[in-house]
């Protein structure tokens, strides 16, 4: 991974520029909460899938995640600030416009960027977050508490335990993640979502109990379409072959 100081914060990122020609289209990937660019995109095969299709892939570790700098003030994780990191990284790499794909929290970040700077996005893919982007994802205080609990056996909340185990798997800074989850899950008003005129694909697993309806969000968008990822929950949908095929088709249309 490469590193750059972005908005005063050290951000780690992948850039496959050296592997493709200078004219290749670019796609920026933004991972979900408690994940990393490796866990969300590289390991599930997205780098290969997109690279084989001729795309230059940019994938960052969001602030507080992976190899990027850790912050412990919840206010540092508001979606517009994290979207600003993506935009500033594009500036750092002299990328004027690119396709964008975000998953879960990354979808919220990508949508926030599409609202504030639509001219920087060619096409937009929102994975793992649909209706919940507008109506909320419920109370995640138990998740924050689970991240800060030393003994796994003391965690009673099922979702909290799931994310705590995932955070341990990715060797994450759990205190930074607990700060992140307090501010990063802000809802986006339906009227603001409806201003996203960028062609957008919303992709969600049929067994995802976090994201909410893909069709609901796609219907709010002037140029939105939805795809269901069969028999996949929030964690497993990200690497699914149906998801990958739908994204490639959408980008190539």
User: pLDDT digits over 168-185, tens only?
Assistant: 888 899 999 999 998 888
- Report, at the CATH architecture level, how domain 2-136+186-252 is classified: 3-Layer(aba) Sandwich (3.40)
- Non-local CB neighbours of 144 within 8 Å, separated by 6+ positions: 178, 181, 182
Q: What is the pLDDT of residue 246?
A: 98
Average pLDDT score over the chain: 94
Please state, as a whole number, how many other Cβ atoms lie within 10 Å of the Cβ of residue 191.
9
With pLDDT > 90 as the criterion, what percentage of the chain qualifies?
81
Task: Map out the domains of the chain as residue ranges.
Answer: 2-136+186-252
Q: What is the pLDDT of residue 46?
A: 98
The reply to whether the predicted model has a pTM over 0.85 is: yes
pLDDT tens for 129-170 read 999 999 987 788 888 899 999 888 889 888 889 889 988 888
Which is nearest to 123 in space by CA: 23, 41, 25? 25
Q: Which long-range contacts (CB under 8 A, 24 or more apart) does 38-41 make?
A: 38/66, 39/170, 40/103, 40/106, 40/238
**50-76 average pLDDT score:** 96
pLDDT tens for 80-124 read 999 999 999 999 999 999 999 999 999 999 999 999 999 999 999
Hey, what are 98's tokens? 């690119």
Q: What is the pLDDT of residue 251?
A: 97
> What span, in angstroms and rounded, lies between the C-alpha atoms of 164 and 145?
9
* CA-atom Rg of the chain in angstroms: 17
């Amino acid at each position: 991974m490469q590193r750059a100081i972005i908005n005063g914060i050290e951000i780690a990122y992948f850039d496959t520029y050296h592997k493709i020609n200078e004219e290749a289209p670019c796609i920026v990937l933004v991972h979900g909460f408690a994940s990393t660019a490796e866990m969300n995109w590289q390991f599930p095969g997205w780098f290969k899938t997109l690279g084989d299709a001729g795309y230059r892939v940019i994938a960052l570790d969001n602030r507080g995640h992976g190899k990027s700098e850790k912050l412990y003030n919840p206010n540092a994780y508001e979606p517009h600030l994290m979207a600003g990191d993506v935009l500033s990284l594009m500036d750092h790499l002299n990328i004027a416009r690119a396709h964008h794909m975000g998953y879960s929290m990354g979808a919220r970040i990508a949508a926030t960027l599409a609202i504030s700077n639509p001219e920087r996005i060619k096409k937009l893919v929102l994975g793992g977050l649909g209706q919940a982007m507008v109506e909320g994802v419920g109370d995640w205080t138990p998740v924050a508490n689970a991240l800060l609990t030393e003994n796994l056996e003391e965690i009673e909340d099922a979702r909290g335990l799931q994310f705590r185990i995932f955070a341990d798997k990715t060797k994450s800074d759990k205190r930074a993640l607990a700060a992140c989850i307090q501010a990063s899950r802000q809802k986006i008003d339906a009227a603001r979502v409806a201003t996203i005129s960028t062609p957008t694909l919303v992709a969600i697993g049929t067994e995802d109990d976090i994201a909410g309806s893909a069709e609901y969000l796609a219907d709010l968008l002037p140029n939105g379409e939805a795809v269901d990822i069969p028999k996949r929950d929030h964690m497993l949908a990200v690497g699914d072959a149906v998801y990958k095929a739908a994204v490639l088709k959408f980008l190539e249309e």
